[in-house]
Amino acid sequence: MIRVLLAEDDIAISEPLARAFRREGYDVTVRADGAEALKAAKDNPDLVVLDLGLPTMDGLEVCRRLRAEGRTAPVLILTARADEVDTVVGLDAGADDYVTKPFRLAELLARVRALLRRGVTGTVEEEGGIRIDAQARRAYKNDEELQLTAKEFDLLRVLVREQGKVVSREQLMREVWETQWFGSTKTLDMHVSVLRRKLGDDATRPRFISTVRGVGFRFERLDA
């Protein structure tokens, strides 16, 4: 289930928004305070919707700290002031998108969907762990950058996002190659094989990417 952290102190906004998210099937956590939102983000939500004007710590600072902690979930900023937006999205705060208040619910939900499609979750920070920076489109193993092609990166991103779960060949073809599945997934197998090699994985005893016969692939949870 997709988990959304909503940080907004105005109940007139957070309540209908949380309801709308739940209707979309998201699991929503609401915080009305910046410091509390930062604390709640330790559960690694898939997306953060962040009001700029929050008590105890403003949204800008929350966003900076999230990134400083290495959290890669997309951040959507809510702001009443369009003139603040450049600072938030353009500069160093690390937000991904913004919506100015008052906003249309349908538009906000569309932006959230777009960010979730693009975004990545599941930062693995174990020894031998893989870290993905979705914004920069870079992947690291033990803080060493992996030299991946665009497709290899997308493949790894999807697998890591769904870590611990099997991702079907159909889904990978659709998400990574944006194509219908016509039966042959030789390209996919080839990419998985290269990706394994680059990760230092062994296909016969895979540590990262397991083959699930007749179904697809699974990125193993490493935090166990």
Binding site for Ca ion (CB under 5 A): 9, 51, 53
**Cβ proximity of 32 and 24 under 8 Å:** no
Q: How far is the CB of 45 from Ca ion (least distance, A)?
A: 19
Q: How far is the CB of 10 from Ca ion (least distance, A)?
A: 5
Q: How far is the CB of 141 from Ca ion (least distance, A)?
A: 40
Q: Is the peptide bond before 16 cis (omega within 30 degrees of 0)?
A: no
Q: Report the alpha-carbon distance of residue 211 to residue 195 in Å, rounded.
A: 13
Q: Report the alpha-carbon distance of residue 74 to residue 131 in Å, rounded.
A: 15
* Sign of CA pseudo-dihedral 69, 73, 78, 84: positive
Q: How far is the CB of 54 from Ca ion (least distance, A)?
A: 6
Q: Report the alpha-carbon distance of residue 46 to residue 23 in Å, rounded.
A: 17
CB of 13 or CB of 114, closer to Ca ion: 13
Q: How far is the CB of 101 from Ca ion (least distance, A)?
A: 9
CB of 53 or CB of 129, closer to Ca ion: 53
CB of 50 or CB of 192, closer to Ca ion: 50
> Across-strand partners of 47?
4
User: What burial letters (b/e) apply to 156-171, b meaning 16+ CB within 10 Å?
Assistant: bbbbbbbbeeebebee
CB of 9 or CB of 175, closer to Ca ion: 9
CB of 93 or CB of 116, closer to Ca ion: 93
Q: 187: closest CA among 196, 198, 176? A: 176
Position of minimal CB gap to Ca ion: 53
Q: How far is the CB of 182 from Ca ion (least distance, A)?
A: 50
In this structure, what are the phi and psi dihedrals at residue 30, rounded to the nearest 5 degrees? -110, 135
Q: Report the alpha-carbon distance of residue 99 to residue 116 in Å, rounded.
A: 15
Residue 215: count of CB within 10 angstroms of its CB: 12
CB of 53 or CB of 206, closer to Ca ion: 53
